Structure 1
Amino acid sequence: MTSPLTYDAVIFDLGGVLVDWDPRHVYRDLFEGNDWALEAFLSEVCSPDWHTKLDGGMSFAEGMAVLTAEHPHCAALIDAYDWGWPQMFRGEIEGAVDVLESLAAQGMPLYALSNFPAEKFDAFVASFPFMRHFRDVIVSGREGLTKPDLRIFELAVNRFGVTPQRTLYIDDRAENVAAAVAIGFRGHHFTGPEGLAKLF
């Protein structure tokens, strides 16, 4: 088992690592159990590519106006992506937050690097007390850069003042971990709290 002293710092992703985020938490009720229609909506209307634009700095007002013009018959469902945003979070991923809390108690320098819409971030911070443990956070929507763009990881090196080879980066998306590793970070592809706990 690796000691946390092996690392000089740890950088966490947020959604999918420390919190359970999924738009399906809102849309399952709206689609009344029609999983096929729900998945079609999230792949063709409020798609991952569209959401990435929100993560990259596009405002919800602009993003939703574009989609509503393209899919006027889905206007009410598109609107739910905004008003339903808080309900897309189903709480902490407890085992992972336990690891974060343990590292914080040991004095480990902790940071976060997240693809996240800028205008929604302050409310998120207010909702999750574990955010107090981070010395700094890079939010993609504020920087106009999204993972896995290598430039956002280079920004993390410079802003956090960390040495990649001595820093662990944790993310639930393999492509983001690969990008971090490409510039020298030690990476962990998060698939559950148990695997994360074994690192420390």
Structure 2
Amino acid sequence: MSSIEIRHIVFDIGKVLIHYDPNLPFSRIIPDEAERQWFFANVCTHDWNIEQDRGRPWEEAEALLIKDHPEREEHIRAFRKHWQEMVPHAYVETVSLMENLIAEGRDVTMLTNFASDTFREAQLLYPFLTMPRGVTVSGDVGLIKPDVAIYETHARAFDLEPSATLFIDDSMPNVEGARLAGWHAVHFTDPEKLKADLSAYGIQR
């Protein structure tokens, strides 16, 4: 067991608390797998989508792509239009872990790469996202993980002591970003591993 005292626990959201997969609506919208893969590799790419997480408005994002791919306008607009289908369920065991941590008086917050508007929709879909003490949403602050600045922003906003903070994220680059900010951080793969990781920090589950 670690001798480190963890007083703050920070959860990522996508693929830790709720599922996210753009293929879910697009397997219907673009049924051909090869065409769909081309679309995500060349039109609605990860790099394009992350800029909405950084705060770019959807209208501007769509206009940029439609200018270069006018024949794909319907598909481009479908990304935002059918966003809710991309987040179809919560990870019940992880949510239960978070709820139990809150119930026992632990200081729990969230730090997420998320567009501002879709995050508010997510809170309506999944009310447990309102349970932690607070959240830093990348689209609200104009910063994205793994930029060290977003971890520093979160720590200032919620008065966290970095050396007493444990971060949980499914992305190794984001885990490394937290460590560069002086936080402790664990890579989320499944609830059982998370329980073991928490126990290693003296947080028995």
Provide the TM-score with structure 2 as the length reference.
0.92
2:148 to 138, 147, 150: 150
Kept in 2: contact 1:138–1:156 (CA 8 A): yes
CA distance in 2, matches of 1:59, 1:36: 29
Aligned position for 2:15: 16
Q: CA deviation at 1:6?
A: 3.9
Aligned position for 1:166: 164
Q: What secondary structure is seen at the aligned counterpart in 1 of 2:111?
A: strand
- Which amino acid letter does the alignment assign opposite residue 183 of structure 2? F
Q: What secondary structure is seen at the aligned counterpart in 2 of 1:18?
A: coil
- Which amino acid letter does the alignment assign opposite residue 46 of structure 2? P
- Which amino acid letter does the alignment assign opposite residue 15 of structure 2? G
CA distance in 1, matches of 2:130, 2:112: 15
1:101 to 99, 102, 115: 99
CA distance in 2, matches of 1:94, 1:139: 22
Residues 53-76 of structure 1 show CA distances to partners (whole Å, capped at 9, x for unaligned) of 100110011100111111111111
The runs of at least 4 consecutive aligned structure 1 residues that moved more than 4 Å come to: none
Residues 151-199 of structure 1 show CA distances to partners (whole Å, capped at 9, x for unaligned) of 0011011111111111110111100000100121110111111111222
CA distance in 1, matches of 2:65, 2:25: 18
CA distance in 2, matches of 1:39, 1:194: 32
Give the aligned CA root-mean-square deviation in angstroms.
1.5
Residues 13-72 of structure 1 show CA distances to partners (whole Å, capped at 9, x for unaligned) of 11110000111111111122x222212211211001101110011001110011111111
Aligned position for 2:201: none
Q: Is 2:174 the partner of 1:176? A: yes
- Which amino acid letter does the alignment assign opposite residue 190 of structure 1? F
CA distance in 1, matches of 2:192, 2:123: 25
Aligned position for 1:185: 183
Provide the TM-score with structure 1 as the length reference.
0.94
- Which amino acid letter does the alignment assign opposite residue 27 of structure 2? R
- Structure 1: where are the runs of 5+ without partners? none
The percent of aligned pairs where both chains have the same amino acid is: 33
Q: 1:2 to 1:133 in 2, by over 3 A?
A: farther
CA distance in 2, matches of 1:80, 1:55: 17
Q: CA deviation at 1:132?
A: 2.6
CA distance in 1, matches of 2:156, 2:5: 21
* Count of residues in correspondence between the two structures: 198
Q: What secondary structure is seen at the aligned counterpart in 1 of 2:19?
A: strand
Q: How does 1:103-122 map to 2 (within 5 A)?
A: 103-122=101-120
- Structure 2: where are the runs of 5+ without partners? 199-203
Q: What secondary structure is seen at the aligned counterpart in 2 of 1:168?
A: strand
Aligned position for 1:25: 24
Aligned position for 1:58: 56
Kept in 2: contact 1:9–1:168 (CA 8 A): yes
- Which amino acid letter does the alignment assign opposite residue 39 of structure 2? F
- Which amino acid letter does the alignment assign opposite residue 19 of structure 1? I
Q: What secondary structure is seen at the aligned counterpart in 2 of 1:90?
A: coil
Kept in 2: contact 1:109–1:135 (CA 8 A): yes
